[in-house]
Structure 1
Amino acid sequence: MRCSILNLAFIASAAATKAHRAVYDNSTLQVETRSLDELHQAALAEGGVVTLWHGGDEATQQNFLKNAFETRFPGMTLNVTVDLSKYHDSNLDQQIADENVYVDSIILQTLHDYPRWKEQGVLLNYAPAGFEAIHGDFKDDDAAYMGLFIIAWGLTSNPNKTTVATPTEYTDFLDPAFKDKLVLTYPNDDDAVLFQFDLIVKQYGQEWFDGLLAQNPRWVRGTATPRTLLNAANSSYVATFTSSKSPAAQPGTAFPTEGEFVAWPQTGAILKDAPHPEGAKLLHNFILSTEHQSVRGWSVREDLPAPVGFSKIWEQEGTNVTAFGEWMSDRANVERMRFWFENLIGSAQGLSPLKDNL
């Protein structure tokens, strides 16, 4: 029998964080004081293994993290499984219900789940080194969960396949030159994409969405798939706004300034019953370290500079980095929006993006 679902509102949690961001319950909070090298030795003594479930839509999406971690810490093995966050969360719920937790660390997009898991008492209250530097709106007061890095959607085109200027606003995608050449992720298959469409329709009205449908876009599963098709030589698709983008300057990419782009702190936690807690602590300390945060674009840390040409993400024009978490907490509204779009474009078709060979 499954554990009961406690529908705790993330927006209330965020509000509490703003009011009490400097107050921590040290009676239950483990505050890390060891160096990465000391943590490395403790993790090796434990067995040298970490099991991570990471949200994503391509099996190889976190290979860079695995390679960076295992290179930095010889003898360690990071077993990372990438799957859609909405599937990882239900599978974790089953582990919890079965009292058979075999995952050490989770890093997921389903921000509304973390307050519930904290309330159930299944997360480890653990503050890695640098926890105090994490922006206050991105972390739980008791360090049960925290934002580990930033993800953002951007506007992308392939300038090698089109002479049309790179779109800089969502209205640009209605240019007749893009007819039959857009590839977009189903909004009813990914909540972060759904939030993007919700924001756009609220700003530009259903007329904008009707115009987008008139462009005859190809709908796909997964947010990496559009970029794959844009880069494929045998594909006629040239533009999308449902894939992630870093703040680094890249040809054919932009962030809107009139419209609003989605950004959020991808949030992580260590399971209280993790089989390899020292390994999980090493992983979280590494991800939050300045050496790793400095190569990830926008940082969750307040003590690191913004990327060149940008503001820190919580000050960045064109996005509200806490809005996605607040929106995710209202599951009734999320479901209304999901079915509103699904009624217009149909249910998501195709294999899982991890199995479709795209």
Structure 2
Amino acid sequence: MRSFLLTACMAGSTIAYDSLFAWKSAPIAETRTLDELHAAALTEGGVINLWSGGDEPAQQNQLKTAFEARFPGMTLNVTVDVSKYHAGRIDRQLNEGKLQIDATVLQTVQDFPRWAQQGVLLNYKPVNFDLIDPSYRDSFAAWYGVYIINWSTLTNPSKLAAGTQLPVEWDDFLRPEFKDKLVVTYPNDDDAVLFAFDLIMQQYGIEWFESFLKQNPFWVRGTETPGTIVRQQNSTYAVAIPSSLNRPSAPLNATRPTTGQFAAWPQTGAIFKDAPHPESAKLLFNYYVSNEFQELRTSGGSWSVRTDIATPAGVQQLSNMSTVNTAAFGRFMADRARVERLKFYFESVIGPAQGLSPLVDGV
């Protein structure tokens, strides 16, 4: 009877393939040019379906526009949603054997080693793979960072008293002139924001956070929402935490601490082994790590995942900075028990995240 029940349970569910003892993970090393890959992608229909992590529908518009302009005839169908939601949907598709997407680029970096272990990722080295920082890539090319996200603080000086010194270090946000001026993403709703707060409090202690709460910050969902509110003329909020802008247009100003730790990490991607459009996915990932795309990213003031791409003008090299560790985020995300305990702590203090998803709230 016990054997029958075990067999019945196994028959009623899909068990993910475990590649632990398969071992043969030697990656395919790409040798074709972008133009040759483009031609191959067109033969399979010229379409790629990408799920990308984010919290505003337009966040990947620059990628879509640049990719489709560079490769005529290609259509990049990119769906933006919060990474933790994308990951769950991907797991369901994999479990049901109904994969609809070709590739994904997500903030939930802890999911990629798991998917690699399940044997569902394509071990594939795009051209320039070996130039990606080794700490950002899987040894057998199942996954790798495709661009760096780093956060700054966005300030609108026009909403502050004339001559106000802009906040730079984390203690600056505790100054009286910033009371009722801060708009901040819930740390218990976004793991990267949670990581940012953890970095601050590891350095300055819980006392910093208790003083920060006395500034009456306006808590919101989504990492783009603070910047949107700070831009609004009918809003009195002047300081957005966090912001992905490094070189905003006037009158906005972006700052990063010079002694305090701040969050930056490689947004990580992979192609699925059973991708419906494998050649198109390979074209996209070769474009991701190409000089063209990496220099497009650095022109905005961020760093490249490649070690040979020049640091943007006016920005320190990562190797010379003691205030950021781009590999630390992956270790943080892998410790899910600690992440959950931190989320519960913040939720107990500031309450659960309120409001609609930033993807549909219209802000």
Normalising by structure 1, report the TM-score: 0.91
| Shift, 1:232, TM fit | 0.7
State the match for 2:82 in structure 1.
Answer: 84
In the alignment, is the contact (CA less than 8 A) between 2:186 and 2:353 conserved in 1? Answer: yes
Q: What is the rounded CA distance, in whole Å, between the counterparts of 1:213 and 1:84 in structure 2?
A: 26
Q: What is the rounded CA distance, in whole Å, between the counterparts of 2:69 and 2:258 in structure 1?
A: 39
Q: What is the rounded CA distance, in whole Å, between the counterparts of 1:100 and 1:154 in structure 2?
A: 39
After the TM superposition, which residues 92-111 of structure 1 pair with which residues of structure 2 at under 5 Å, given as runs? 92-111=90-109
Instruction: Please state if 1:199 is matched with 2:205.
Output: no
State the match for 2:5 in structure 1.
Answer: none
State the match for 1:12 in structure 2.
Answer: none
In the alignment, is the contact (CA less than 8 A) between 2:149 and 2:244 conserved in 1? Answer: yes
Q: What is the CA deviation profile of residues 42-91 of structure 1, one whole-angstrom value per residue up to 9, with x for unaligned ones? A: 00001000000000000111011000000000000000000000000000
State the match for 2:222 in structure 1.
Answer: 222
State the match for 2:281 in structure 1.
Answer: 280
Q: What is the rounded CA distance, in whole Å, between the counterparts of 2:186 and 2:14 in structure 1?
A: 30
In the alignment, is the contact (CA less than 8 A) between 2:17 and 2:119 conserved in 1? Answer: no
| Shift, 1:248, TM fit | 8.0
Cα distance change, pair 243–27 in 1 and its aligned pair in 2 (3 A): closer
Secondary structure at 2:240 match in 1: strand
- Which runs of no fewer than 5 residues in structure 1 stay unpaired? 9-24
Identity among equivalent pairs (%): 55
- Cα RMSD (Å): 1.9
Q: What is the rounded CA distance, in whole Å, between the counterparts of 2:209 and 2:117 in structure 1?
A: 39
Instruction: Please state if 1:311 is matched with 2:322.
Output: no
Residue type at the aligned position of 2:292 = E
Cα distance change, pair 59–98 in 1 and its aligned pair in 2 (3 A): same
State the match for 2:331 in structure 1.
Answer: 326
Q: What is the CA deviation profile of residues 213-260 of structure 1, one whole-angstrom value per residue up to 9, with x for unaligned ones? A: 111111000000000001111111100232223378975211101110
In the alignment, is the contact (CA less than 8 A) between 1:156 and 1:167 conserved in 2? Answer: no
State the match for 2:176 in structure 1.
Answer: 176
Instruction: Please state if 1:264 is matched with 2:265.
Output: yes
State the match for 1:22 in structure 2.
Answer: none
Secondary structure at 2:50 match in 1: strand
State the match for 1:244 in structure 2.
Answer: 244
In the alignment, is the contact (CA less than 8 A) between 1:48 and 1:77 conserved in 2? Answer: yes
Secondary structure at 1:160 match in 2: helix
In the alignment, is the contact (CA less than 8 A) between 2:185 and 2:222 conserved in 1? Answer: yes
Q: What is the rounded CA distance, in whole Å, between the counterparts of 1:343 and 1:32 in structure 2?
A: 50
In the alignment, is the contact (CA less than 8 A) between 1:314 and 1:321 conserved in 2? Answer: no
After the TM superposition, which residues 15-34 of structure 1 pair with which residues of structure 2 at under 5 Å, given as runs? 28-34=26-32
Q: 1:348 aligns with which of 338, 350, 353?
A: 353
| Shift, 1:104, TM fit | 0.4
Secondary structure at 2:101 match in 1: coil
State the match for 2:70 in structure 1.
Answer: 72
Residue type at the aligned position of 2:293 = H
- Which runs of no fewer than 5 residues in structure 2 stay unpaired? 1-12
Residue type at the aligned position of 1:103 = I
